[in-house]
Amino acid sequence: MENIEEKNGIPLLGDDFPKIKVQTTRGIMELPAQFSGKWFVLFSHPADFTPVCTTEFVAFQNRYDKFKKLNCELIGLSIDQVFAHIKWEEWIKDKLDIEIEFPIIADTGIVAEKLGLIHPGKGTSTVRAVFIVDPNGKVRVIVYYPQELGRNMDEILRSLEAMQISDKNKVAMPANWPNSEIVSSDVIIPPATDIETAKERLSRAEKGEFKCLDWWFCHKKLEQ
């Protein structure tokens, strides 16, 4: 039972996450209102009772506490009936001794179509998509994977934490943060956009306030 506010096109970065009423393994929910004031990760998987998806759900569950410490909830999705989701959860508990604690959306296809999750040329199966949504209901990160490639949950956690730090400190995050080959665990100061600011950056670098490889490439330690 999905009801989606009409909007043409797949959500883009910075867009409001579509308002959706969904059936889940934890009851009826309205997104993004269900997680108001929190970040949430909505992730789709091709189908229940499949090997790669099973490894993903176990990996998500094993890191669920880490997501919650970052004020973030998880919610899965596939075009399967809620009964299939429940039986799959039971199988994971019985065979792997892992209890899935986050909800899974039982989609009829409406949500998947709206979010652009249907895998091209593979019937009604969904891609392995990830939407990271902020406490204001804005889509901040979107990642799509093919059916053949399982996700790296630590990278999703890294992306979530990095976005939160970026928002809080008004900085950018380097490649492989916090293990950048160039700036280590430092964060990037947004480039100067005028001559006066560029000169100021170099002057502040000389005073040791932060480091600059050039006026357009300055970085600093993350303030605790």
Q: pLDDT digits over 60-104, tens only?
A: 999 999 999 999 999 999 989 999 999 999 999 999 999 999 999
Residue 142 has pLDDT above 50, yes or no: yes
Domain count, the chain: 2
Instruction: Indicate if 116 and 17 belong to the same structural domain.
Output: yes
Q: Is residue 160 in some structural domain? A: no
Q: Is residue 193 in some structural domain? A: yes
Cα separation, 85 vs 189, in Å, equals 45
Question: What is the DSSP-derived secondary structure letter of residue 156?
Answer: H
The alpha carbon torsion through 144, 106, 17, 142 (nearest 10 deg) reads: -10
Q: Provide the residue type at 153 as one letter.
A: M
Instruction: Indicate if 126 and 221 belong to the same structural domain.
Output: no
Q: Is residue 161 in some structural domain? A: no
Output the domain CATH number for residue 15: 3.40.30.10
Of 39, 42, 47, nearest in space to 20 by CA: 42
pLDDT, one tens digit per residue, over 165-224 is 999 999 999 999 999 999 999 999 998 889 998 888 888 888 888 999 998 999 999 876
Instruction: Indicate if 13 and 60 belong to the same structural domain.
Output: yes
Instruction: Indicate if 48 and 110 belong to the same structural domain.
Output: yes
pLDDT number for residue 109: 84
Which residues are identified as catalytic?
53
pLDDT number for residue 8: 41
Output the domain CATH number for residue 204: 3.30.1020.10
pLDDT number for residue 88: 97
Residue 141 has pLDDT above 70, yes or no: yes
**Whole-model pTM?**
0.91
**pLDDT bracket for residue 127 (50, 70, 90):** confident
Q: Which of 1-5, 105-109, 212-216 has the lowest mean pLDDT?
A: 1-5
Positive/negative CA dihedral, 65, 44, 134, 181: positive
Q: Is residue 183 in some structural domain? A: yes
Q: Domain of 8?
A: 3-151
pLDDT number for residue 4: 46
pLDDT number for residue 147: 85
Cα separation, 23 vs 4, in Å, equals 13
Q: Is residue 156 in some structural domain? A: no
pLDDT, one tens digit per residue, over 33-66 is 999 999 999 999 999 999 999 999 999 999 999 9
